[in-house]
């Protein structure tokens, strides 16, 4: 019995020990599983951190490349998804004046170049103007991208490929191209190497349409940008420039300007200043050719100012076309003497003051209306203050510090006051178009839009009479050499002596010829100036009637049919002269 009970107790103890051993094995298994899960999580975290670190490095490098300067060791590293483009600039008929063309630029990866000398030895014959010192510095830099030559030709690209230069490549860019070369160069302006507007219409377009901001975001390459339309007529622009070039050469002048202005809207149809430049290969900004003399230059416009003086006399009510003006003797203001180049030494009719271009008569008209009226009248015409246009760069007129006496007298015939050719043309348009002054513009403008911003400066009655005087001077006065059969040109000449070393030089002139056509209903105003023309063989004189006049006539003859003005050879065309 004792043995059986002992055995029973042993079996019972063994049965009790069995479950305890099984629980221990389960704990071991669970611990191992937890370790495996923890290890897997650690690996996932490690991989995630690694990916984040790699992409952070890549992002940092991209930012670094985008911010690096072109002339430093690193430039843009990633190929742009789009190319920064600009809208085409077109004339009033849709002719392209500026557009973008696809170009290639040469870059290098310094990390892949073992010998900068070998690379430069291969590139120098292809690019003779390459800045070797700069290129050598860039090729030996620690960066991975540097520009070597921007906007190369297809021939240069093929030569680089044929040379097998290691460590260099090509990237597409766009370059601004001006099909007309120097035509309208001063109006269109320039862009920089990155296709951003620097001057002229190019700069205005960036500022007004936000093109530069879109380019900075890389959006313009994929956008369907509408052409930017101007008021210019490229055909007329080409004719004006051609006339100036030939005139400067013929008369051995320093330069010339030409303007065609729509009398009913203030639109600039053509404007040229010569010498000029080719915007496809522009000179330095300090080069004299970069100056737009039609807008930036201010000049004494001489007797063209008598147009404004006689309009002022009529508008004041103190004179009419039947008035008589004493021009028998010169006028004296202290030691200053005012006389006439074509002195008649008699009392002149009001129209004769204009056709004989009498300084004495103009001075007497100014004296009669008074200095305050004169100043206010010229101010209303926009001749005393700087004018604003879309292309900027307007010159600031110089006016007398005080009005009255000899100062008012000389201003009446265009001395002692300077203006730009463009604002002179704009003021003249107001005199002939019925009395409305329009700010000149290089953008399209309808007559309705023009009327909304117009300023009335003279009455329609005064304007009618001034058209008569201009036409009379065109047929019987100094404007005869600017006549074109069938177009009834009205005109006024201006020959002013240039100031050299503080004194008026009798043998150096600045000449102007102001015209409008057709005078019974003027559509366009034309102004031509020529700086310091010489007397040449076969031409009787060197005043405006003999150089600026024929040049203006040539412009009218060639452009009038293109601008939709039909010639009228009938007697009805001269009804204006018969009306007074």
Element (H, E) at 148: strand 146-152
Residue % of the chain over a pLDDT of 90: 74
Q: Which residues pair with 55 in a beta bridge?
A: none
Give yes or no for residue 43 having a pLDDT over 60: no
Q: Which residues pair with 530 in a beta bridge?
A: 256, 511
* Cα 262 to Cα 283: distance, rounded to the nearest angstrom: 32
* Among 383, 372, 384, residue whose Cα is nearest residue 427: 383
Instruction: Work out the average pLDDT over 380-404.
Output: 95
Element (H, E) at 258: strand 255-262
Q: Which residues pair with 456 in a beta bridge?
A: 436
Q: Report the b/e string of 455-476 with b at 16+ CB within 10 A.
A: eebbeeebbbbbbbbbbbbbbe
Give yes or no for residue 69 having a pLDDT over 60: no
Q: In angstroms, what is the C-alpha Rg of the chain?
A: 39
Three-state SS string over 504-565 comes to EEEEEEEEEEEEEECCCCCCEEEEEEEECCCCCCCCCCCCHHHCHHHHHHHHHHHHCCCCCC
Q: The whole model's pTM is what? A: 0.81
User: Pick the catalytic residue: 105, 199, 212, 303?
Assistant: 303
Element (H, E) at 101: strand 96-108
| pLDDT tens for each residue of 220-231 | 444 557 999 999
Give yes or no for residue 65 having a pLDDT over 50: no
- Under the banding of pLDDT at 50, 70 and 90, the label for residue 562 is very high
* Cα 463 to Cα 490: distance, rounded to the nearest angstrom: 13
| pLDDT tens for each residue of 392-402 | 999 999 999 99
Residue % of the chain over a pLDDT of 70: 82
Does residue 274 contact residue 267 with C-beta atoms inside 8 Å? Answer: no
Instruction: Identify the pLDDT of residue 51.
Output: 53
Instruction: Identify the pLDDT of residue 46.
Output: 55
Does residue 200 contact residue 191 with C-beta atoms inside 8 Å? Answer: no
| Residue 393: φ, ψ to 5° | 75, 15
Which tokens is 370 given?
């008074």
- Which range has the worst mean pLDDT, 52-56, 75-79, 257-261, 353-357? 75-79
* Span between the terminal Cα atoms of the chain, in Å: 164
Instruction: Identify the pLDDT of residue 41.
Output: 56
Q: Does domain 237-575 have CATH number 3.40.710.10?
A: yes
Give yes or no for residue 74 having a pLDDT over 90: no
Give yes or no for residue 15 having a pLDDT over 90: no
Does residue 139 contact residue 113 with C-beta atoms inside 8 Å? Answer: yes
* Cα 449 to Cα 231: distance, rounded to the nearest angstrom: 14
Give yes or no for residue 49 having a pLDDT over 60: no
Give yes or no for residue 345 having a pLDDT over 60: yes
DSSP-derived 3-state class of residue 215: helix
Q: Which residues pair with 169 in a beta bridge?
A: 107
Instruction: Identify the pLDDT of residue 1.
Output: 39
Q: 88-113+172-229 sits in which CATH class?
A: alpha beta
- CATH code 3.90.1310.10 region(s) in the chain: 88-113+172-229
| pLDDT tens for each residue of 126-138 | 999 999 999 999 9
* Among 433, 514, 523, residue whose Cα is nearest residue 479: 514
Element (H, E) at 336: strand 336-338
Torsion of CA 194, 197, 202, 205, to 10 degrees: 110
**In the annotation, is 358 catalytic?**
no
Give yes or no for residue 359 having a pLDDT over 50: yes
Compute the Cα dihedral for 549, 554, 555, 556 and give only its sign.
positive
Instruction: Identify the pLDDT of residue 5.
Output: 42
* Cα 375 to Cα 468: distance, rounded to the nearest angstrom: 25
Instruction: Identify the pLDDT of residue 36.
Output: 54
Q: What is the mean pLDDT of the chain?
A: 87
3-state SS of the chain: helix, strand, coil percent to 5? 45, 20, 40
Instruction: Work out the average pLDDT over 413-430.
Output: 97
Give yes or no for residue 52 having a pLDDT over 60: no
| pLDDT tens for each residue of 478-502 | 999 999 999 999 999 999 999 998 8
- CATH code 3.40.710.10 region(s) in the chain: 237-575
* Among 189, 201, 197, residue whose Cα is nearest residue 282: 189
Compute the Cα dihedral for 420, 425, 429, 431 and give only its sign.
positive
Task: State how far Cα 99 lies from the chain centre.
Answer: 15
């Amino acid at each position: 019995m004792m043995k059986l009970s002992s055995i029973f107790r042993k079996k019972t103890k063994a049965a009790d020990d069995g479950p305890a051993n099984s629980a221990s094995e389960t704990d071991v298994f669970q611990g191992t599983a937890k370790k495996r899960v923890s290890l897997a999580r650690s690996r996932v975290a490690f991989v995630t951190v690694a990916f984040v670190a790699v992409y952070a490095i890549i992002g940092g490098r991209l930012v670094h490349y985008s911010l690096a300067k072109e002339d430093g060791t690193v430039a843009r590293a990633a190929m742009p998804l789009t190319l920064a483009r600009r809208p085409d600039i077109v004339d009033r008929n849709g002719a392209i004046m500026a557009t973008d063309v696809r170009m290639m630029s040469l870059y290098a990866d310094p990390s892949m170049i073992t010998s900068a000398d070998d690379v430069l030895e291969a590139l120098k014959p292809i690019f003779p103007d390459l800045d070797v010192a700069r290129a050598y510095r860039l090729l030996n830099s620690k960066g991975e991208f540097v520009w070597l030559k921007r906007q190369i030709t297809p021939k240069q690209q093929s030569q680089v490929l044929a040379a097998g230069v290691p460590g260099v490549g090509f990237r597409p860019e766009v370059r601004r191209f001006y099909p007309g070369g120097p035509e309208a160069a001063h109006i269109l302006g320039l862009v920089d190497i990155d296709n951003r507007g620097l001057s002229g219409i190019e700069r205005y377009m960036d500022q007004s349409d936000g093109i530069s901001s879109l380019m900075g975001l890389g959006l313009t390459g994929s956008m369907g940008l509408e052409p930017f339309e101007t008021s210019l007529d490229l055909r007329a622009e080409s004719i004006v420039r051609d006339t100036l070039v030939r005139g400067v050469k013929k008369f051995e002048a320093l330069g010339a300007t030409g303007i065609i202005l729509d009398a009913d809207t203030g639109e600039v149809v053509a404007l040229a200043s010569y010498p000029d430049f080719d915007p496809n290969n522009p000179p330095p900004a300090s080069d004299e050719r970069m100056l737009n003399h039609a807008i930036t230059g201010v000049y004494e416009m001489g007797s063209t100012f008598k147009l404004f003086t006689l309009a002022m006399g009529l508008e004041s009510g103190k004179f009419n076309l039947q008035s008589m003006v004493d021009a028998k003797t010169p006028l004296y203001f202290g030691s200053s003497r005012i006389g006439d180049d074509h002195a008649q030494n008699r009392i002149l009719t009001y129209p004769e003051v204009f056709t004989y271009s009498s300084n004495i008569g103009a001075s007497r008209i100014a004296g009669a209306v008074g200095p305050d009226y004169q100043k206010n009248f010229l101010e209303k015409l926009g001749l005393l203050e700087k004018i604003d246009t879309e292309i900027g760069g307007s010159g600031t007129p110089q006016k007398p510090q005080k009005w009255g006496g000899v100062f008012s007298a000389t201003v009446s015939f265009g001395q002692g006051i300077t203006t730009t050719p463009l604002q002179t043309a704009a003021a003249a348009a107001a005199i002939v178009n019925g009395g409305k002054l329009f700010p000149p513009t290089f953008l399209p403008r309808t007559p309705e839009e023009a009327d909304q911003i117009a300023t009335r400066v003279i009455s329609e009655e005064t304007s009618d009479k001034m058209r008569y005087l201009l036409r009379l001077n065109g047929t019987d006065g100094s404007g005869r050499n600017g006549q074109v059969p069938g177009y009834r040109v009205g005109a006024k000449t201006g020959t002013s002596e240039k100031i050299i070393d503080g004194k008026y030089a009798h043998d150096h002139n600045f000449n102007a010829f102001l015209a409008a056509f057709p005078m019974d209903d003027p559509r366009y105003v034309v102004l031509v100036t020529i700086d310091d023309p010489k007397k040449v063989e076969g031409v009787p004189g060197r005043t405006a009637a003999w150089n600026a006049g024929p040049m203006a006539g040539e412009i009218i003859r060639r452009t009038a049919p293109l601008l939709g003005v039909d010639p009228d050879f009938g007697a009805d065309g001269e009804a204006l002269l018969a009306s007074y």
